[in-house]
Amino acid sequence: MFGLRTTLALTIAGAFAAVATPAMAAEFQYSYFSGDVFASGIFTTTDTTTTVDGREAYTVTGISGSRGGVLIAGLNALYPGASGGSDQYLFATGVPVTGFGIGFDYVNGLSGNLFYGVNGNEAFLGEYYGNTGTDRDAQFGPQQFTLTPVTTPPVTPPAVPESATWIMMILGFGGIGAALRSLRRTPQLAVA
List the domain boundaries for the chain: 4-21+157-185, 25-151
Rounded distance between C-alpha atoms, residue 147 and residue 39, angstroms: 12
Mean pLDDT, residues 127-154: 69
* pLDDT given at position 19: 47
Q: Note if the pTM is more than 0.75.
A: no
Count Cβ atoms below 10 Å from residue 61 Cβ, excluding itself.
Answer: 14
Average pLDDT score over the chain: 76
Taking a C-beta distance cutoff of 8 angstroms, is the pair 28, 39 a contact? no
Torsion of CA 25, 72, 85, 129, to 10 degrees: -140
Taking a C-beta distance cutoff of 8 angstroms, is the pair 113, 131 a contact? no
Residue 41 has pLDDT above 90, yes or no: yes
Residue 18 has pLDDT above 50, yes or no: no
- Report pLDDT digits (tens) over 43-90: 999 888 889 888 899 999 999 999 888 899 998 876 655 556 788 899
Residue that wins the pLDDT comparison between 75 and 14: 75
Residue 103 has pLDDT above 80, yes or no: yes
